Amino acid sequence: MTGSIFSDYKIGNLTLDNRIVMAPMTRGFADNETGEVNYLIADYYGKRARYGAGLIITEGIAINELAKGTYGIPGIYTHRQILSWKKVTQEVHQYKTKIFAQLWHVGRVSHQDILKGYTPVAPSAIGANGHVHRLRKPFQAPKSLSNLEVYQLIDDYKQAAKNAMEAGFDGVEIHAAHGYLIDQFISEKTNDRQDEFGGSLQNRLRFLDLIIKEVKEVVPKNRISIRISEKKDDDKGYVWECPEEMVCAITGILSKHQLKIAHPSVDNYGDTLQNDQRSLHELFRQCWDETLIAVGNIDPNKGAAIIEENQADLIAFGQLFITNPDLVIRLRANQKISLYYSKEQLECLH
Ligand SMILES: Cc1cc2nc3c(=O)[nH]c(=O)nc-3n(C[C@H](O)[C@H](O)[C@H](O)COP(=O)(O)O)c2cc1C
């Protein structure tokens, strides 16, 4: 389905007012102790809704106590966290905007100082290189999850998804990208398990597969987005050996579950992959017939062209939405859009 960036877009019974998506962005504004979000966060998302975003995907939200990788990360595993998110969804739903909760577990890229004394968990006891965001200590060597714990985690994803729907979200995005927990299962460098979750690509994708299977029980399949990336935040040089095999295997799982939304993540939309002549989005377009979200340093004019040329169905903007709560209005009016504004300009915007 082609159209303009401002035309509405249907995914089953979910109608977006336009094709403009606010990309998920961690802000670290939640209460660090309780993982609850407050009225400032409701106001932050509410503004982007009031000014006309079609779909907001929230910052990564921790699915359980061990899912956090820095300070100020919200959660969706306690009753009070659910109640706090209700204020956000109610604020956003005053307008026509839809909002998905991004379900997140960072796995090994964390530290016991963030996790109330608990050791980070991962598919295998393989440490990450680098430092914990804001804590500035090296990532701690993770504990390898037992087979039973992996199944418990799959349940945690399901419960978090159920909680998100109870909090009034329109859907969820499963964060399987950027080198976090699900991606740590997928990558051969971070997974040397001997059980059904390690070894072949099919086995390494089983964790994602089973999470989708469970989440589908509590969220309609047209309201589940999957975020995938080649890039890993803790391993800048990482590339897929055979991108086509990887993308087809992933889209195979999405299709098997009849999911409708894929959200591949890259820093620069259109860049060709190192081991393929195509970009990540081109590969998805080839292997995947359903809704595709484009993202990655997209210039607004380019965004409109991507939709008109049917390269993707929705366009996500990240940083531009931080500095431009009124991004959609500016796009419609063809106004200046910048990553940088003067203090006076910002005061007018907020
Ligand atoms: C401050 C910041 C926080 C981010 N946090 C997340 C996150 O929680 N989950 C996620 O999937 N991507 C996250 N991203 C990546 C964005 O969703 C997006 O893919 C990236 O910023 C590229 O889009 P842009 O060039 O339009 O900003 C973050 C990006 C930024 C700038």
Ligand 1 center to 22 CA (angstroms): 9
Any ligand 1 atom below 6 A from CB of 4: no
* Residue 152 within any structural domain of the chain: yes
* Residue 275 within any structural domain of the chain: yes
* Residue 215 within any structural domain of the chain: yes
Q: How far apart are the first and last CA of the chain?
A: 35
Of the pLDDT bands very low, low, confident and very high (cuts 50, 70, 90), residue 334 is confident
C-alpha distances (whole Å) from 294 to each of 143, 150, 263 are: 35, 31, 7
Distance CA 156, CA 26 (A): 21
Ligand 1 center to 103 CA (angstroms): 14
* Residue 189 within any structural domain of the chain: yes
Of the pLDDT bands very low, low, confident and very high (cuts 50, 70, 90), residue 300 is confident
pLDDT at 38: 97
Q: What number is the average pLDDT over the span 132-147?
A: 95
Which tens digits make up the pLDDT trace of 78-131?
999 999 999 999 999 999 999 999 999 999 999 999 999 999 999 999 999 999
Of residues 9 and 301, more confidence is placed in 9
Percent of all residues in the chain with a pLDDT value above 70, rounded to a whole number: 96
Range of the domain at 31: 9-347
C-alpha distances (whole Å) from 304 to each of 13, 16, 81, 190, 350 are: 24, 16, 37, 38, 26
Which tens digits make up the pLDDT trace of 182-201?
999 999 999 999 999 999 99
Of the pLDDT bands very low, low, confident and very high (cuts 50, 70, 90), residue 142 is very high
Residue among 25, 234, 337 to mutate when testing ligand 1 (max atoms within 8 A of CB): 25
* Residue 35 within any structural domain of the chain: yes
* Residue 251 within any structural domain of the chain: yes
Any ligand 1 atom below 6 A from CB of 26: yes
- All residues at 6 or more sequence positions from 236 whose CB lies less than 8 Å from its CB, including other chains: none
Residues catalogued as catalytic: 180
Q: What is the CATH number of the domain that holds 103?
A: 3.20.20.70
* Residue 2 within any structural domain of the chain: no
Q: Which numbered atom of ligand 1 lies nearest the CA of 178?
A: 11
pLDDT at 1: 47
Instruction: Residue 283: name the closest of 334, 238, 235, 249 by CA.
Output: 249
Any ligand 1 atom below 6 A from CB of 59: yes
Check whether 340 has a pLDDT greater than 70: yes
Q: Number of folded domains in the chain? A: 1
* Residue 4 within any structural domain of the chain: no
